[in-house]
Amino acid sequence: MLSLNILVQGLLTGAIYGLMALGLSVIFGVIRVVNFAHGEMMVAGMYVAIVLNSRWGVDPLLALPVVAVLLFVTGYLLQRGLINRLIDRPHYNQFLVLLAVSILFTSSTLMIFGPDARNAQVPYAFDSYELGSLVVDKVRVLAAAGALVGVAALWAFFALTRTGKSIRACADNQLGAQVIGLDVKRLYAVTFGLGCACVGAAGCLLLLFVDVQPYLASDYTLLAFIIVILGGLGSMPGALIGGILVGVSEALAGFFIDPSLKSMFSFGLLILVLLARPEGLLGRAA
Amino acid sequence: MSAGPLLEVEAISKRFRGLQAVDSVSFGVPEGRILALIGPNGAGKTTIFNMIAGVFQPDAGHIQFAGRDVTRLRPHRICEAGVARTFQLVKPFGALGVLENVMVGALRRAPSLAAARADAEQLLARFGLAEKAQAPAASLTLPERKRLEIARALATRPRLLLLDEVMSGLRPLEIDAMVAVFRDLVRGTGLTILLTEHVMRAVMALSDRVVVVHHGQKIAEGAPAEVARDARVLECYLGRQRAEAPA
Amino acid sequence: MRRGSRLALGALVAVLLALPLLASNYIISVMVLVLFAAYLGQAWNIMMGYVGLLSIGHALYAGLGGYTAAALFVHWGLTPWIGMLAGMAVASLAGGAIGALGFRFGVTGVYFALLTIAFAEFTRILFDHFGWVGASSGLFLPVKSATVLDLVNLRGPPAMFYYLMLALVVAALVLSRALIRGRIGYYWQAIREDQDAAEALGIDAFRCKLAAVALSAAMTAAAGAIQAFYYNNLYPGSVFAIGNSVELMSAPIVGGLGTLGGPILGALLLTVLGEVMTALASVVHLDGIKQWCYGAVLLAIVVLRPGGLWPWLMERLGIAEGGSRP
């Protein structure tokens, strides 16, 4: 049954979208900064995985931890070195700084790798699982599984570790956190790093079935925004649910309506959500 | 002078998500008088204030100003009707100059920019801010910002001025100065004032009448001295035991 | 103004007016780009610099202006002057609708910016499927000889466009100055600084903001229409692209938000930088180097001089300007 396949495919893709959006949501929820360079960082991570794949045949799934760590460090330094300086500036200023950073990322990847699309080679690229009339690509299943592991890991970090709980304290009450001696700047940097690590991980998973090129970034940044706003800025479960919702609706819209119109559908959805309930399904008010 | 009070609040109520913030409160403010709204924190004073100022709509009840029903009006229409307000946490237009701040208020009534400027300059002089006219509003100290806020509100030539805890954060000398200014304004221009306040010194010195609110309900109304002796008022501020102790 | 400044200004005006007679076609075309960027920046500046409304979807209005004028010309032979007015009306309505929806539902700050992006992207994809204007294959204007001066149909050499845009930039300058020093300018800035306080002083924030958006949109559309007749082709993907919106904002930000001279200075700097980078790129053969430098300059300005370069320049030259600064 074709539409069931489409639905499942949407669900699987949605899980990855969820991981990607999670990073953005966490950054906003804690630091209150909107990371407009989100998609660009993901693409940068994807290129690192491409290099590992083309040079040494590393599977993106194995490259994932490397990419995640690299992007964590990048995010940490970016926050520590640049964004911390701008905490008290008006929102539009922060937004524009990250916009400039995104331009730098995109143009850097363009300079290093050129404009052509690249993809990762994995031996099981054409394998699929069959369950009755349901046929799903192995890559999509693995990717979705990876995404869910990533989400679970992040959740565990925030719920169970000391640093994670400290970060949540900062998010709830920055002044209070400082008063009890938490190093807010360091925690912010960790949070930003984690957000970037998330998106890097999501990129590696996406690489299993998507080709990468430098201009992919803005599509995904906007997509991440749609998801995060739908699910609620600052809400972790919201990001995952939002991701799945968008994944499914995109897949269905692409199938039943013209595929080129599916983004239009997503943007229409974004407009509606912004108007009706900017804090999203599960989010906190900005 | 009009027949009834300038401001008539009739049985207004407001509920916020399960909490009855204001419960059927009524009072009137005669023209040319000063009425103080007092009560412990969380009593609902600011909510009442905000309903009169048009920030919220009451769930029930009416608000009449100069014989006109203003219950559902938005803040800018309320100002048009002749009511001006200050904010508890002052809101200067930081990037604009001090004079420009007041001009924004004056432009409401002034026929030209030049006239607005003249009005603004007069008000600055009255509130002792003339020297700082060109300075950015963000550079003022807190007492100066409060004076700016009042001057700006007065620039709209209101008949009724709503003062939201305007004395908080001021030193006794500054409070006395403020009280004197308000007294002069009321006597000189027939301005009517409704204020909410925690600083009792100011309330006693300034108001003709006091309304006490507690848990969203009006529990007392009268001249300041009467209200200060009212057992229910003492109870809500000091607790039951103290109220029952001999005075 | 001091005597020295007057002379300098006079000389500048003379040079600007005489430029097409003195300079090469290349320089003229670069100047046309500068003037487009300056004018668009001035239009955007009204919304952001004065009222504080961040729009990252302004390409929508330029695109609507361009497509309206071009389509009316191609299909019905309507002169672009009327087409421009029609385009301005369409854009103004679109801006009004976005503004009305946004303000009515209390969408502010970054959320409002996202709303503008969403509308622009939505329209881009819509136009990809809009047959009457060529859909994704594009809309083409018939090009006659570039030396024939046909002002009615905006067919002519770059010099014609140069003078036209010069006039528009000057007009925008005069308009901006009048607005910011007038009643509406005070109201706009008050709203930008603190909307609640502004409303408490009797300002109808909804109407004032709507006016700003509609005006900014209409002004942008006018340039969009002229651009359509300058480049002679339109594609939804290039006209409504978010990259255009970002480029459009860069000049006023780099130059100085809320100032009169900022958008013009920014346009000059960035266009010249762009041309230098293009020349460099043709030598260095590195895709993306132009954007990289662009991004670097933007970053430097936004971090180090958030107020833009114009105020800094004015300080250096000792001139005070009656503008507004967010």
- Chain B hits for C181, CB-CB cut-off 8 Å, are 113
Distance from CA of C98 to the nearest CA of B (A): 22
Nearest to C203 by CA among B80, B157, B152, B98: B80
Q: Would you say residue B1 has pLDDT above 50?
A: no
Q: Is B113 within 8 Å of chain C by CB? A: yes
Q: Which residues of chain A have pLDDT under 50?
A: 286
pTM of the model: 0.88
Task: Convert the pLDDT of each residue in B193-234 to its tens digit.
Answer: 999 988 888 888 899 999 999 888 999 999 998 888 887 887
What residue has token string 């006490």? B212
Task: Determine the Cα–Cα distance for residues B241 and B72; give it in Å rounded to an integer.
Answer: 42
Structural domains counted in chain C:
1
Average pLDDT in the C164-168 region? 95
* Chain A residues in contact with C110 (beta carbon < 8 A): 34, 91-92, 95, 286
DSSP 8-state assignment for residue B236:
H
The verdict on residue C19 lying in a domain is no
Interface of B with C in 164-223 (CB under 8 A): none
Grade residue C144 by pLDDT with cuts at 50, 70 and 90. low
Nearest to B96 among C189, C196, C205 (CB): C189
Query: Which chains have 3 or more CB–CB distances shorter than 8 Å to chain B?
Result: C
SS3 B20: strand
Tell me: the pLDDT tens digits for A208-250? 888 888 888 888 888 888 888 888 777 788 888 889 988 888 8
B-C CB pairs within 8 A amount to 70
Check CB contact of B71 with chain C, cutoff 8 Å: no
The pLDDT assigned to A208 comes to 86
Assigned token pair, B110:
């002034």
Pick from A75, A78, A102, A49: which is nearest to A212 by CA? A49
- Give B79 or C314, the one with higher predicted confidence: B79
Subunit contact A275:C288, Cβ cutoff 8 A:
no
C173 falls within a domain? yes
Q: Of all helices (H) and strands (E), which one includes residue C272? A: helix C262-284
Q: Where are the domains of chain A?
A: 2-276
Q: Among 3.10.105.10, 3.65.10.10, 3.20.20.80, 3.40.50.300, what is the CATH number of B1-82+162-247?
A: 3.40.50.300
For residue B219, the 8-state DSSP code is E
Closest chain A residue to C192 measured between Cα atoms? A90
In a domain, C199, yes or no: yes
Closest residue, chain B, to C186 (C-alpha): B104
Best of A40, A85, A92, A233 to mutate (most C CBs within 10 Å, chain C): A92
H or E stretch covering C254 = helix C242-255
Which ranges in chain A belong to alpha helices (H)?
2-31, 38-56, 60-81, 91-113, 138-160, 162-172, 174-179, 184-207, 216-231, 236-256, 262-276
Contact C197 B80 (CB under 8 A): no
Residue A279 is predicted with a pLDDT of 66
Residue-wise DSSP of C275-323:
HHHHHHHHHH--TTHHHHHHHHHHHHHHHH-TT-HHHHHHHHHT-----
A2-6, C6-10, C87-91 — most confident range: C87-91
Number of helices followed by number of strands (H, E) in chain B: 10, 10
Domain range holding C85? 26-240
* Residue written as token pair 């309930």: A277
Residue C326: predicted pLDDT:
47
Q: Which amino acid is at C158?
A: P
Q: Which residue of chain A is at minimal alpha-carbon distance from C55?
A: A92
Nearest in space to A7 (alpha carbons), one of A242, A254, A251, A256: A251
CB atoms within 10 A of CB B188: 8
The answer to whether residue C1 is domain-embedded is no
Q: Does A277 touch chain C (CB under 8 A)?
A: no
Measure Cα distances from B166 to A31, B36, B169, C190 in Å. 33, 12, 8, 21
Q: How far apart are CA C163 and CA C271, in angstroms?
A: 18
Q: Quote the pLDDT of residue B245.
A: 47
Of C216, C293, C307, C219, the residue nearest C255 (C-alpha): C307
Q: What tokens does B102 get?
A: 């007041």
Give the total residue count for chain B.
247
Coil, strand or helix at B73: coil
- Select from C181, C180, C210, C209 the least CA-distant residue to C195: C209
What ipTM, to 2 d.p.? Answer: 0.90
Q: Do B152 and C201 touch (CB under 8 A)?
A: yes
Q: Which residue in chain C is spatially nearest to B74 when comparing CA positions?
A: C199
Does B80 sit within 8 Å of C196, measured CB to CB?
Answer: no
pLDDT of B146 reads: 93
- Whether C291 sits inside 8 A of A106 (CB atoms) is yes
Confidence tier at B243 by pLDDT (50, 70, 90): very low
Q: Is C273 helix (H, G, I), strand (E, B) or coil?
A: helix
CA dist., res. B21 & res. B29, Å (int): 22
**pLDDT exceeds cutoff 60 at B165:** yes
Q: State the pLDDT at residue C147.
A: 59
Q: Is B46 on the interface with C (CB under 8 A)?
A: no
Smallest CA–CA distance, residue B30 to chain C, in Å, is 22
Considering only the beta carbons, identify the residue of C107, C109, C122 that sits closest to A275: C107
Residue type, position A141, single letter: V
CA–CA distance, B133 with B142 (Å, rounded to integer): 16
In this complex, do A264 and C288 lie within 8 Å of one another by their Cβ atoms? no
Query: Scanning every residue of chain A, which has its alpha carbon at the shortest distance from the alpha carbon of C112?
Result: A274
Asked if residues A169 and A176 have their Cβ atoms less than 8 Å apart, the reply is yes
Average pLDDT over all residues of chain C: 89
Among residues of chain B, what percentage have pLDDT more than 90? 63
Alpha-carbon distance C74 to nearest alpha carbon in chain A (angstroms): 27
Cα(C40)–Cα(C62) distance, integer angstroms: 9
Retrieve residue A275's tokens. 């108007």
Residue by residue, DSSP assigns A223-274 as HHHHHHHHH-TT-HHHHHHHHHHHHHHHHHHHHHS-GGGHHHHHHHHHHHHH
Chain A CB contacts of C288 under 8 Å are: 106-111, 214
C258, C306 in Cβ contact below 8 A?
no
Quick one: which of C46, C37, C51 has its CA closest to C176?
C46
Nearest CB to A104 within list C48, C118, C295: C295
* Strand B60-65 to B68-69 pairing: antiparallel
Find the length of chain A.
286
Choose the most confident range, by mean pLDDT, from C92-96, C257-261, C291-295: C92-96
Contact A270 C110 (CB under 8 A): no
Distance CA C258, CA C176 (A): 10
Choosing among C201, C257, C325, which should be mutated to test the B contact, i.e. which has the most B CBs within 10 A? C201
Kindly report which listed range (A232-241, B136-145, C144-153, C216-225) carries the lowest average pLDDT score.
C144-153
CB contact under 8 A, B105 and C201: yes
Which of A111, A271, A275 is the closest to C287 by Cβ?
Answer: A111
* List of chain B residues whose C-beta atoms are within 8 Å of the C-beta of residue C178: none
Distance from CA of B49 to the nearest CA of C (A): 13
Residue B139, pLDDT score: 93
Give, for B9, the enclosing helix (H) or strand (E). strand B7-16
* DSSP β-bridge partners for residue B22: B14
pLDDT in tens, B3-44: 578 999 999 999 988 888 899 999 999 999 999 999 888 788
Among the residue ranges A152-166, C23-37, C40-54, the one predicted with the least confidence is: A152-166
Please tell me which residue, C8 or A285, carries the higher pLDDT value.
C8
What mean pLDDT value characterizes chain B?
89
Percent of chain C at pLDDT above 70? 95
Amino acid A168: pLDDT? 81
Which DSSP category does A83 fall into? Answer: G
What does the block give as tokens for C95? 């801006």
User: Per this entry, what is the length of chain C?
Assistant: 326
Q: Does C201 touch chain B (CB under 8 A)?
A: yes
Nearest by CB to A114, from C115, C121, C287: name it: C287
Residues of C in contact with A91 (CB under 8 A): 109-110
Domain A2-276 CATH (choose: 1.10.533, 3.90.25, 1.10.3470, 1.10.760) = 1.10.3470
Query: Which residues of C are less than 8 Å from A111 in CB distance?
Result: 286-289, 292
- Structure-token pair, residue A115: 């404009």
Write the pLDDT tens digit of every residue in B111-153: 999 999 999 999 999 998 999 999 999 999 999 999 999 999 9
Q: What pLDDT does A281 receive? A: 63
Nearest to C183 among B85, B100, B113 (CB): B113
Query: pLDDT digit string (tens) for C286-324?
Result: 777 888 888 898 899 889 888 889 988 888 877 655 445
- Which of C50, C186, C188, C203 should we substitute to test contact with B (largest number of B Cβ atoms within 10 Å)? C186
pLDDT tens digits, B145-156:
999 999 999 999
Q: Could you tell me which residues come within 8 angstroms of residue B112 by beta carbon, excluding any fewer than 6 positions away?
A: none
**How far is Cα C203 from Cα B77, in angstroms, rounded to an integer?**
8
- Chain C partners (3+ C-beta pairs within 8 A): A, B
